[in-house]
Amino acid sequence: MARGNRSLVLYYTPDVNMLPFAARLAALSAISVPLAAMIPVIERLAGATIYLVSFRYWTSCAPESVARWIAHLQDPDIAILVVGRPGNQLPLALQDEELSAQLLEMPVSVDTLTAGIHGALTAMRFRLRLSAMRDQLERRSRELREVHQVGVALTAERDMSALQDFVVRTAREMTGADAATLYLVDDDGTGRQTLVFHVTQNDSVDVPYERLTIPMSVQSMAGFVAITGQVLRLDDAYALPEGAEYTFNPAVDRRFGYRSRSMLIVPMRNHRGQVIGVMQLINRKRRFSVKLADPATVELEVEPFSEENEQLVLSFASQAAVAIENNQLLADIERMLAGFVRASVTAIEARDPATSGHSERVARLTVGLARAVNEVGWRSLRFGAQQLKEIEYAGLLHDFGKVGVRESVLVKAKKLYDWQLDAIRNRFRLAMQVAEARSLRRQLEDALAAGPEAYPRQAARRQEDQRVEEAALDHALRVILAANEPTVLDEDRSRALLEVAGRIVTLPSGESMPLLLDGELRSLLVRRGTLDDEELAEIRSHVVHSFNFLIQIPWTHDLREIPRIAAAHHEKLDGTGYPYHLSGDDIPVQARMMTIADIFDALAAQDRPYKPAIPVPRALAILRDDAARGGIDADLLELFIAREVYRVID
Q: What residue type is 326 in one-letter code?
A: N
Q: How far is CA 421 from CA 123, 206, 348, 415, in A?
A: 110, 77, 27, 10
pLDDT of 469: 86
CATH superfamily of 352-407+539-649: Hypothetical protein af1432 (1.10.3210.10)
Dihedral sign, CA of 405, 411, 413, 417? Answer: negative
Residues 6+ apart with CB under 8 A from 500: 476, 479, 480, 515, 516
623 closest CA partner among 582, 585, 595, 591: 595
Q: Report pTM.
A: 0.63
Residues 6+ apart with CB under 8 A from 593: 366, 369, 370, 373, 391, 633, 636
191-207 tens-digit pLDDT: 788 898 888 999 999 88
What CATH number has the domain spanning 8-131?
3.40.50.2300
70-95 tens-digit pLDDT: 988 888 889 999 998 888 889 988 98
pLDDT of 182: 92
Q: How far apart are CA 347 and CA 511, in angstroms?
A: 47
For residue 606, what is the DSSP state? Answer: S
Q: Establish whether the linkage from the previous residue to 579 is cis, with ω within 30° of 0.
A: yes
Q: How far apart are CA 474 and CA 477, in angstroms?
A: 5
Q: Mean pLDDT of successive 10-residue segments in the chain (650 residues)?
A: 59 86 84 83 76 89 89 89 89 87 89 89 86 76 66 65 83 91 84 86 85 85 93 94 91 90 93 89 92 89 93 86 81 87 86 81 96 93 94 93 81 86 93 85 72 68 81 90 84 86 87 90 86 84 90 91 94 94 94 96 75 86 95 95 92
Q: How far apart are CA 3 and CA 266, in angstroms?
A: 41
567 closest CA partner among 585, 597, 590: 590
Compute, in degrees rounded to 10, the torsion defined by CA atoms 14, 36, 9, 83. 40
Q: How far apart are CA 430 and CA 341, in angstroms?
A: 51
Q: What SS3 class is residue 381?
A: coil
Q: List the helix and strand counts (H, then E) for the chain.
A: 22, 14
Record: fold of 157-330:
Beta-Lactamase (3.30.450)
Q: How far apart are CA 437 and CA 211, in angstroms?
A: 87
348-404 tens-digit pLDDT: 888 777 777 899 999 999 999 999 999 999 988 999 999 999 999 999 999 988 888
